[in-house]
């Protein structure tokens, strides 16, 4: 390998990703601290940076370096081979899209986001429809530019879940659907029901903030390389493994929402803090895919945070901070935070019904991109599928096909990564339990670092070295399967609901 050339190439990669970190920092500031009047300037700042990033990514220098490194071979270094492979992928995706198309999509989406917000407020799908039609046409055009073999949707999916194929995901989802519907049917017939009113009691946000910080620290979130702030929508962002920030909100009616949103974002953050610092600003310190990223948040949120051993440790602390819960038993609390019932809104969905919401969106957007579903027919298709999957149907489009921001932002092929995240999470957790047999006893004793270290060793520190399918195979010894997810749900909800 030509080490001088690779050194120069790596310098370009680091600069490119440093510019992205600056862009992420501007975004973080906008969501947390920026005064309202700063918005216009911020848009100009971000737009300038986005231009610089695109220029760097598509520069002839980078293209030539890639070509020479590929020709001369980088196989003598596994790490160099990963960086070259990943930059080739990014370079191809960026250079195949005509500048005009990228600009037009950005313009259309900026406009569409505003219209979508109004349309949702008024529950007026007709207002949003022409924008959605234009976005889907531009996304289809993008897919054709990027290239695909089986179906155009694959090219869009590949942005978020590299290497994934829609047809394979559809088969997997189809099979999960049957299990979820069967379990949901049994739960709906159960006589036991949790008392949700305990979650609805007013709470002291300051006291809750102290508890969630204690939880985040106990799970292994490093506050010397991170912060917890308040924003309108909870998120996690990272500038390097040494600066990974999370947010939450305390305006929620249910006391459980800020708790689980923090645990969720901590899961994302532990992944980012677990990358090797010396690889910062390279693909060796970047997430494999959105699905794998989501698996880390879901694992901590659902497999750990909604488990009984977790609350055996934390519930006394929570009650001490929020005395209004003192008359609620640990069992009642645990049942309430694991309530299962069909609901219209995806972000409020429980562990059993959540993936059904995703199946619906995946199916619809795939048909939209294929040209098999007309935009005007989206509300009817949405409502019919809701009825089929969850037995309920929205009375307004605001509670139906207008509820998510994704399509208005041009995010098509993104939704399936949420469901994949749930499946990966269960399969990783099953492997962790095999390797760390007393895991649940450790949770009950407040010890979460052994799990974090296991995840770091098996998943985090590898960055983007492996594609998702390969990572799952390496970590769990088999390809992605629905079985661990279904087994987790069954073993959890059967006893809870007395099935």
Catalytic residue set: 265
CB-based burial of residue 283 (10 Å sphere; 0-12 exposed, 13-18 middle, 19+ buried)?
Answer: buried
Cβ-defined contacts of 49-55 (< 8 Å, 24+): 49/19, 49/22, 49/23, 50/23, 52/19, 53/16, 53/19, 53/20, 53/23, 54/94, 54/102
Which of 17, 297 has the CB closer to Mg ion? 297
Which residue, chain included where needed, has tokens 């709470």?
A: 203
Which of 425, 469 has the CB closer to Mg ion? 425
Does position 403 interact with Mg ion (CB under 5 A)? The reply is no
CA–CA gap between residue 487 and residue 431 (Å, rounded): 13
Which of 287, 496 has the CB closer to Mg ion? 287
Min separation Cβ 301 and Mg ion, Å: 9
Question: What's the Cα-to-Cα distance from 68 to each of 65, 71, 72, rounded to whole Å?
Answer: 5, 5, 6
Which of 275, 414 has the CB closer to Mg ion? 414
Min separation Cβ 420 and Mg ion, Å: 12
Min separation Cβ 350 and Mg ion, Å: 16
Cβ-closest residue to Mg ion?
297
Min separation Cβ 232 and Mg ion, Å: 16
Q: Report helix, strand or coil for 239.
A: strand
**Scanning residues 436 to 495, which ones bind Mg ion (CB under 5 A)?**
none
**Scanning residues 269 to 298, which ones bind Mg ion (CB under 5 A)?**
297
Tokens of 385: 């599928």
Give start and end residues of each alpha helix (H) in 97-124.
Answer: 99-122
> How many residues sit in the footprint of Mg ion (CB under 5 A)?
1
Which of 291, 342 has the CB closer to Mg ion? 291
Which of 264, 464 has the CB closer to Mg ion? 264
- 247 secondary structure, DSSP code: E
Min separation Cβ 171 and Mg ion, Å: 25
Tokens of 330: 């640990």
**Scanning residues 294 to 313, which ones bind Mg ion (CB under 5 A)?**
297
State the DSSP string of 155-174. HHHHHHSTT--HHHHHHHHH
Q: Report helix, strand or coil for 228.
A: strand
**Scanning residues 16 to 55, which ones bind Mg ion (CB under 5 A)?**
none
Min separation Cβ 297 and Mg ion, Å: 4
Residue pair 299/429 in contact (Cβ under 8 Å)? The answer is yes
Applying CB under 5 A, which residues contact Mg ion? 297
């Amino acid at each position: 390998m030509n080490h001088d050339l690779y050194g120069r190439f790596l310098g370009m990669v680091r600069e490119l990703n440093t510019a992205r970190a600056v862009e992420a920092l501007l975004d973080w500031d906008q969501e947390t601290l920026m005064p309202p009047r700063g918005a216009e300037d911020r848009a100009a700042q971000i737009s300038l940076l986005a231009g610089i990033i695109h220029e760097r990514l598509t520069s002839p220098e980078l293209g030539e370096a890639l070509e020479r490194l590929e020709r001369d071979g980088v196989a003598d270094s596994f790490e160099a081979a990963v960086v070259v492979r990943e930059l080739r992928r990014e370079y191809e995706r960026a250079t195949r899209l005509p500048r005009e198309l990228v600009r037009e999509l950005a313009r259309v989406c900026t406009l569409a986001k505003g219209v979508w917000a109004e349309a949702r407020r008024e529950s007026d799908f007709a207002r949003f429809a022409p924008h959605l039609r234009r976005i889907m046409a531009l996304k289809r055009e993008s897919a054709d530019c990027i290239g695909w073999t089986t179906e155009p949707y694959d090219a869009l999916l590949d942005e978020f879940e590299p290497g994934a194929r829609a047809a394979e995901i559809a088969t997997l989802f189809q099979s999960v659907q049957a299990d979820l519907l069967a379990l949901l049917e049994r739960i709906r017939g159960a006589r036991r029901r949790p008392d949700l009113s305990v979650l609805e009691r007013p709470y002291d946000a300051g006291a809750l903030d102290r508890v969630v910080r204690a939880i985040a620290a106990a799970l292994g979130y490093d506050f010397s390389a991170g912060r917890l702030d308040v924003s309108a929508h909870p998120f996690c962002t990272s500038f390097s493994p040494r600066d990974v920030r999370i947010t939450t909100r305390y305006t929620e009616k249910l006391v459980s929402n800020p708790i689980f949103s923090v645990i969720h974002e901590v899961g994302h953050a532990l992944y980012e803090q677990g990358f090797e610092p010396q690889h910062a600003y390279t693909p060796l310190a970047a997430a494999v895919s959105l699905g794998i990223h989501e698996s880390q948040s879901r694992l901590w949120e659902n497999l750990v945070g909604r488990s009984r051993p977790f609350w055996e440790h934390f519930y006394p602390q929570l009650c001490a901070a929020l005395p209004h819960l003192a008359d609620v038993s640990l069992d009642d609390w645990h049942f309430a935070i694991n309530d299962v019932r069909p609901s219209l809104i995806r972000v409020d969905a429980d562990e059993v019904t959540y993936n059904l919401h995703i199946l619906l969106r995946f199916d619809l957007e795939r048909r939209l991109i294929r040209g098999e579903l007309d935009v005007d027919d989206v509300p009817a298709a949405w409502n019919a599928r809701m009825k089929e999957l969850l037995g309920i149907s929205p009375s307004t489009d605001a509670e139906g096909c207008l509820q998510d921001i994704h399509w208005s932002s041009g995010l098509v092929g993104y939704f399936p990564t949420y469901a994949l995240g749930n499946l990966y999470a269960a399969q990783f957790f099953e492997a962790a339990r095999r390797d760390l047999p007393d895991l649940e006893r450790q949770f009950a004793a407040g010890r979460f670092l052994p799990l974090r270290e296991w995840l770091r060793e098996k998943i985090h520190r590898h960055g983007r070295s492996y594609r998702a399918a390969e990572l799952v195979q390496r970590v769990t010894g088999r390809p992605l399967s629905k079985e661990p997810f279904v087994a987790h749900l069954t073993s959890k909800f059967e006893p809870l609901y007395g099935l």
